[in-house]
Structure 1
């Protein structure tokens, strides 16, 4: 399946904000990264086979601390007041027919002009934020009622000071796996996307 592209109405200098549902993007992500037998299967996303994921293209510029944001992952319904939550629920139902577990939003201008590798990295980055909750022992949590994964927004695998690693080493900071991954050649392509992720910027604020 070819990489999905944003619709025409989300491109250009429209004076009005546009948010366009992108079911083709989620279908592509599932066929490319999530579903069993996908050509670029990533087992880290296995839990998302049971998740309802919605996606939007937008022409609305976004940024934080001087950095452009081109992608963001959120839970479907944010914890807000009754009217605000109901208003968002109504909009999600109009867009997707149901409230998604996760909502991914992508900057249409960036998505239309970036390379294939940059686009794949962006989509996978947001999928990584669509996480599965863990118990006190670090094991994945599942619903006792349905047996399905319990979902939540996931932070990054590593949060440590460079100085701690420099002074005490990777093992002291428990980042040996990250160091090994960083020293190996990339499996797909070498790109940078974390600084343009709205979920990361919100968590850092």
Structure 2
């Protein structure tokens, strides 16, 4: 069954609730079974480098907007880096207390947004964040590994950054945009029936 966020995080009441973050081990188990297990109908070979990665997943009710858009998912490389020494030490302590260890990636999902999503939208959101969790490549385009043989990880940016209006007025100028348009014009690889079978049961932006 597809996981849903806790009710108290997913719905807003008349009383303003403080911003909260809650570990979501059920989401981690589900995404491993759904997208990382070769026996799954929704297995994606693009994520195979994450099969042995340490992933931490959180639900949050904290509203997050960036560039006038709602952010409903976020993947971060761990441990936290861009902050002062005390802030970083405090953040590291919090993450380790949540998960018992420092994960390679921390993935956070908006509970209110996920609560109202259909199965296909939620699967797309989760995979969007998994695509951000990438393995570094060397100068020859080959996967990069650490000295101990484990993958060297990095955050991967989006394949395409463009405005709909630019594409509408001038066409798919950037090669990435052209490739995205071509793929969008084909039938999706995963149909609604497949998603329903795996999950059992809005136009938003993921960052």
| TM-score, normalised by the number of residues in structure 2 | 0.82
Q: 1:90 to 1:26 in 2, by over 3 A?
A: same
**SS of equivalent to 1:20:** strand
**SS of equivalent to 1:90:** helix
- 1:9 offset after TM fit, Å? 2.8
**SS of equivalent to 1:50:** coil
Which stretch has the larger CA shift, 181-190 or 93-102? 181-190
Aligned counterparts, 1:71-90, within 5 A: 71-79=73-81, 80-90=83-93
Length, aligned pairs only: 191
Match of residue 7 from structure 1:
6
- 1:179 offset after TM fit, Å? 4.4
Gaps of 5+ in 2: 193-201
After TM superposition, the runs of 4+ consecutive aligned structure 1 residues lying more than 3 A away are 158-163, 174-180
| TM-score, normalised by the number of residues in structure 1 | 0.83
Q: Deviation digits for residues 79-100 of structure 1, max 9, x if unmatched?
A: 1222111101110111100111
**SS of equivalent to 1:105:** strand
- 1:102 offset after TM fit, Å? 0.6
- 1:142 offset after TM fit, Å? 1.2
2:49 counterpart (44, 47, 54)? 47
2:35 counterpart (33, 38, 41)? 33
Gaps of 5+ in 1: 200-205
1:123 counterpart (118, 122, 126)? 126
**SS of equivalent to 1:196:** coil
Aligned partners of 1:18 and 1:60 also within 8 Å: yes
- 1:154 offset after TM fit, Å? 0.4
Which stretch has the larger CA shift, 29-38 or 181-190? 181-190
Q: Deviation digits for residues 114-154 of structure 1, max 9, x if unmatched?
A: 100000000000000011111122221111x2211110100
Aligned partners of 1:33 and 1:45 also within 8 Å: yes
**Alignment RMSD (CA, Å):** 2.5
Match of residue 158 from structure 2:
156
Give distance in 2, aligned partners of 1:120 and 1:182: 17
Q: 1:150 to 1:69 in 2, by over 3 A?
A: same
Larger RCO (CA within 8 A; separation ≥ 6): 2
- 1:175 offset after TM fit, Å? 6.5
**SS of equivalent to 1:3:** coil
Aligned counterparts, 1:103-142, within 5 A: 103-142=106-145
